[in-house]
Chains A and B, each alone.
Chain A
């Protein structure tokens, strides 16, 4: 699982970087709002991440996602939940 989590982190940071102009590396502790993504761009990001991993990030869980690492953590949890169930 650790290996996969690492993979997920790299991929999600890539998806964030695609949406932020002029950025070299996305820091895990960067707050998504501070990257200049408005609510529409955040939604687009979340949908792209959902499609990448065939999971659903329920709207009510967005509140707990502030930083890029939060997003990675939530998605890893969802992937694990899918594997378990």
Chain B
């Protein structure tokens, strides 16, 4: 028996999955050409699964800032801020984030995953309670384990269930509620106004992970809290630089007293190297772009609506409300894998999401729309999807998709 023999059921499942053609977990791009195009096995691919919501990965201002910082300050910090010190860019970006959100403090982490680990592990501890949405991202599930608080789940986007469970918690200790701005698999949003009211009723604290909603929702792009008009009730906003800001990194902003002390206790902040100057520079430039160009957000929502309307008209099973995350639900993993392979053949790359990573065990073809997509690109996607769906018997091709 080998050390990894406990993984043999996984090996078998993985093997079955790759029988249908390409391996969805091992996609090797030859080149990335733009926010919306790449080359896969010699073929040009339209990219529709990138989380590159504002299309800023090739933005000239972001690239130039990063290049200059790279030339001037080198490739990396080679250590944590606790050990190797804070660079000017780290502090400046934290101030920029705090200003953007209108908060007193901000803390930058090396990834969004670590931001959740870093916050959840240090905001509460033994004797406290954390109540999370059942469909939370893996980084939230992992973060709450590090906290050693008592962890309770409530049914996805169900304020009544949240309220019920809060009512059952034993007295004593603080309670932290954790939800997401936009859920990454189905693109749905938390009913934040109701959740904020419940939070107030129970005297709890509220943390919102705006990973997929920063730069996407809200008049100024501050996310769901802004869109729902409840920023004052949200005690902590966590986010990532890896989606709308087109780079890598994570952060938390807050008005909490003594927030700065978290830098001395949050192990995922203290015991990993800080972001390199080039990344800090591109993120800072991207945040400027996000603020100075609301047109990007408008284009993103126009694009999302265009794709959503066309897919609904074609008869696909997708979530009822348009969002930049548009997921087609399919009857079985096998069908989803076949569909995904056909899309690759048609020059379109999207995400395949299978249980248990998906809610309620459904199989999904997950697309994320970008402001950088052209209408022509999106129409091409719809044509290809409708044709493949017809061949695979996913929808009856009764109607041609009307786009726009």
- Check A59 against B152 for contact (C-beta < 8 Å): yes
Interface residues of A in 30-85 (CB under 8 A from B): 38-41, 43, 47, 50-51, 54-56, 58-60, 85
- By a CB distance below 8 angstroms, the chain B residues around A60 are 145, 148, 150-151
- By a CB distance below 8 angstroms, the chain B residues around A47 are 134, 153, 155
Chain A nearest CB from B5 CB (Å) reads 16
In the complex, B144 has a CB within 8 A of chain A? yes
- Check B134 against A56 for contact (C-beta < 8 Å): no
- By a CB distance below 8 angstroms, the chain A residues around B150 are 56, 58, 60
- By a CB distance below 8 angstroms, the chain A residues around B144 are 59
- Check B151 against A40 for contact (C-beta < 8 Å): no
- Check B151 against A41 for contact (C-beta < 8 Å): no
B side interface size, CB within 8 A: 19
Question: A53's closest neighbor in chain B, by CB?
Answer: B168
Please give me the 8 A-B residue pairs with the lowest Cβ-Cβ distance, nearest first. Answer: A59-B151, A58-B150, A39-B356, A56-B152, A56-B168, A40-B361, A38-B356, A58-B151
Chain B nearest CB from A75 CB (Å) reads 13
Question: What is the interface of chain B mostly: helix, strand, loop, or mixed?
Answer: mixed
Knowing A47-B134, A55-B168, A56-B169 are in contact, say whether A38-B152 is a contact too (CB < 8 A).
Answer: no
Question: Which one of B145, B152, B170, B355 lies within 8 Å of A40 (CB-CB)?
Answer: B355
- By a CB distance below 8 angstroms, the chain A residues around B134 are 43, 47
Question: What separation, in Å, do the CA atoms of A85 and B170 have in the docked complex?
Answer: 9
- By a CB distance below 8 angstroms, the chain A residues around B145 are 59-60
Per-residue contact bits, chain B 144-170, to A (CB 8 Å; 1 contact, 0 not): 110010111101000000001100111
Question: What separation, in Å, do the CA atoms of A59 and B164 have in the docked complex?
Answer: 17
Question: What separation, in Å, do the CA atoms of A40 and B150 have in the docked complex?
Answer: 20
Question: What separation, in Å, do the CA atoms of A47 and B361 have in the docked complex?
Answer: 16
- By a CB distance below 8 angstroms, the chain B residues around A43 are 134, 153
Question: B155's closest neighbor in chain A, by CB?
Answer: A47
- Check A38 against B361 for contact (C-beta < 8 Å): yes
Question: A60's closest neighbor in chain B, by CB?
Answer: B151
- Check B355 against A38 for contact (C-beta < 8 Å): yes
In the complex, B398 has a CB within 8 A of chain A? no
Name 16 interchain pairs, CB-CB below 8 A, sorted by A.
Answer: A38-B355, A38-B361, A39-B356, A40-B360, A40-B361, A43-B134, A43-B153, A47-B134, A47-B153, A50-B165, A54-B168, A56-B150, A56-B152, A59-B144, A60-B148, A60-B151
